Amino acid sequence: METTLIILKPDAVQRGLSGRIISRFEDKGLQIVGMKLMRISGELAADHYGVHKERPFYNSLVSFMTSSPVVVLAVMGNNAIAVSRKMMGATFGSNAEPGTIRGDFGVSNSFNLIHGSDSPEAAKEELERFFTREELVECGRAIDTWVYDMSGDEPE
């Protein structure tokens, strides 16, 4: 099982889409093991998006991410990173397929509703940036035997 970071960005929160988006992850069978509503500080946004510091959109991205509260999630499941990214859809809502979060709720090429870790390494770093160990709560779910084929050594 893998855990990934998901951020429902200011546009998703301001548009009242948080519950609908969270439900999609749960409906898919992924488990929410951490969740909080927070306002990202300038320092935290600069740290999180530091890889984009030299890009022309960096300042507007930091400004956007600090403009309003966000919902930060830790989502766990088999291949949670790949599954979550596929659910999110293409980066720009105008290019995202219907049925994806961005495809169903977004049209903007600037406001793209959601962030998700893109690799196990990024997920580990990002989860540590936004959650303490105590804030992540893992517990077995009886439903997992109906979400995953548990007949082998690994959930499938």
Tell me the catalytic residues.
Answer: 115
Which DSSP symbol is given to 79? Answer: T
For 64, counting Cβ atoms within 10 Å of its Cβ (0-12 exposed, 13-18 middle, 19+ buried), the class is: middle
The helix or strand, by DSSP H or E, that contains position 4, with its residue range, turns out to be strand 2-8
- Selection from 73, 71, 59, 64 nearest residue 5 by Cα: 73
37 Cβ contact list (under 8 Å, min separation 6): 13, 69, 70, 71, 72
* Torsion (CA) 97, 99, 126, 67 in degrees, nearest 10: 80
